[in-house]
């Protein structure tokens, strides 16, 4: 038995997990974002509610553990940002602690009980407020010791021309500090910026997609350019990793027609040819972070993790 957490800037979701299929949630608790002692106390309160001593504690966070310093990079929870979080929590809780990025936990969930079942290599993608990803090979998370693997949304690789026929596209500044990242244009907000640059029209991503589905010309052009921009780097990821399935989560994944278009665009660009969809909707639509943390913790507790 392990205790798992999915921790965001607003709420801490905790659960006891006996298997990936047997996860028993506790009521959510507010995240103490400015008080580390209160943060630890909240985790301890949930752990104390478990029936017995857990084998370990597994945590999904919207951040990264720097593999060189072991420090947490978590912008939305200041009290844990910059801390050697694993070591400090283990000392405070008296239990083994495993921590992973929320996108990594998402792909672990998809590999364990979602769309990635039966696949040796699974690359999970987030298309929402940001563009993220994670990689699992043979049931093991590449980022088992923390790190930035899977972050296909970052790096100055955005083309300056895209679409059919080609149109010039500006390279937007990204929150990571670089310019021209896929995250800055492939996210929901990025889609909105792209539409404005092409048509000088301010619309939400939902409105753009609705207009595209209705056959509206300017929205169709925006999606055409968007697909060209997103499909190139994702096809490269498929070629490099050898993944045979790409489950997608995040807000934009809720549009089946958009995912189908991304899938077709990616499959036209990759070396291996599939006669089935490759880019597919995630199956773990409810609490993937919690499920992924449970999979990570149970794998570690059973001795097959690092």
SS3 147: coil
Q: Are both 295 and 277 inside the same structural domain?
A: no
Alpha-carbon separation of residue 139 from 49, 134, 237, 302, 305 (angstroms): 30, 12, 18, 13, 10
Residue 304 has pLDDT above 80, yes or no: no
Same domain, 172 and 230: yes
- CATH number, domain of 19, equals 3.30.420.40
- The band of 94, judged by pLDDT with boundaries at 50, 70 and 90, is very high
How confident is the model over 96-148, as pLDDT tens digits? 999 999 999 999 999 999 999 999 999 999 999 899 999 999 999 998 878 88
Average per-residue pLDDT in the chain? 94
pLDDT at 73 over 70: yes
Task: Say if 125 falls within a structural domain.
Answer: yes
Same domain, 260 and 297: no
Q: Verify that 94 and 130 share a domain, yes or no.
A: no
Query: According to the model, what pLDDT value does residue 167 have?
Result: 97
- Is it the case that residue 192 has pLDDT exceeding 90? yes
Residue 306 resides in a domain: no
- Map residue 4 onto helix, strand or coil: strand
In a domain, 108, yes or no: no
Are 126 and 188 members of one domain? yes
With respect to residue 106, please indicate whether it lies within any of the assigned structural domains. Answer: no
Answer yes or no: is 146 within a domain.
yes
Q: What is the mean pLDDT of the segment spanning 147-162?
A: 93
In sequence order, what are the residues at sequence separation of 6 or more whose Cβ sits closer than 8 angstroms to the Cβ of residue 31?
A: 7, 8, 9, 10, 11, 12, 39, 42, 77
Does 107 reside within a domain? no
Q: Is the pLDDT of residue 28 over 70?
A: yes
pLDDT value for 143: 86
**In terms of domains, do 134 and 216 share one?**
yes
Pair 235, 193 in one domain = yes
Return the pLDDT at 125. Answer: 97
- Residue 20: the pLDDT is 84
pLDDT at residue 61 tops 70: yes
Whether 21 has a pLDDT exceeding 90, the answer reads no
Higher pLDDT, 279 or 300: 279
Residue 110 lies in a domain: no
SS3 (DSSP) at 129: coil
Flag whether 109 is in a domain: no
Write down the pTM of the prediction: 0.90
Mean pLDDT of 39-43: 97
Whether residue 242 sits in one domain with residue 257: yes
Same domain? 127 vs 265: yes
Residues 217 and 152 in one domain: yes
Whether 282 has a pLDDT exceeding 80, the answer reads yes
Total number of domains in the chain: 2
Query: What is the domain range of residue 229?
Result: 115-281
Tell me: do 130 and 183 sit in the same domain: yes
Query: Does one domain contain both 163 and 269?
Result: yes
Phi and psi at residue 58, in whole multiples of 5°? -120, 135
């Amino acid at each position: 038995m392990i205790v798992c957490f999915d921790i965001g800037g607003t709420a801490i979701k905790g659960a006891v997990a006996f298997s990936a299929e047997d996860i028993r949630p506790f009521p959510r608790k507010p995240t103490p974002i400015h008080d580390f002692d209160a943060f630890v106390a909240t985790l301890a309160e949930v752990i104390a509610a478990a029936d017995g001593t857990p084998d370990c504690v597994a945590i999904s966070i919207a951040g990264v553990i720097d593999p060189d310093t072991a420090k947490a990079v978590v912008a939305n929870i200041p009290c844990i940002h910059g801390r050697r979080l694993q070591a400090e929590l283990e000392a405070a809780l008296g239990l083994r602690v495993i921590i992973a990025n929320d996108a990594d936990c998402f792909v672990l969930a998809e590999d364990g009980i979602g769309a990635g079942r039966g696949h040796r290599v699974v690359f999970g993608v987030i298309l929402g407020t940001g563009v993220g990803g994670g990689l699992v090979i043979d049931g093991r998370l590449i980022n088992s010791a923390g790190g930035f693997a899977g972050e296909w949304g970052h790096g100055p690789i955005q083309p300056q021309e895209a679409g059919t026929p080609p149109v010039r596209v500006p390279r937007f500044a990204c929150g990571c500090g670089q310019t021209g990242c896929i995250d800055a244009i492939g996210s929901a907000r990025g889609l909105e910026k792209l539409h404005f640059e092409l048509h000088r029209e301010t619309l939400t991503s939902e409105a753009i997609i609705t207009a595209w589905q209705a056959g509206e010309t300017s929205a169709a052009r925006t999606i055409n350019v968007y697909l060209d921009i997103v499909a190139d780097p994702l096809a490269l990821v498929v070629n490099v990793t050898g993944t045979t399935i790409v489950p997608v989560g995040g807000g934009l994944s809720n549009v089946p027609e958009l995912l189908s278009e991304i899938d077709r665009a990616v499959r036209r660009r990759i070396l291996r040819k599939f006669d089935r969809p490759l880019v597919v909707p995630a199956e773990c639509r409810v609490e993937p972070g919690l499920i992924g943390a449970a999979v990570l913790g149970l794998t570690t507790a059973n001795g097959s993790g690092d």
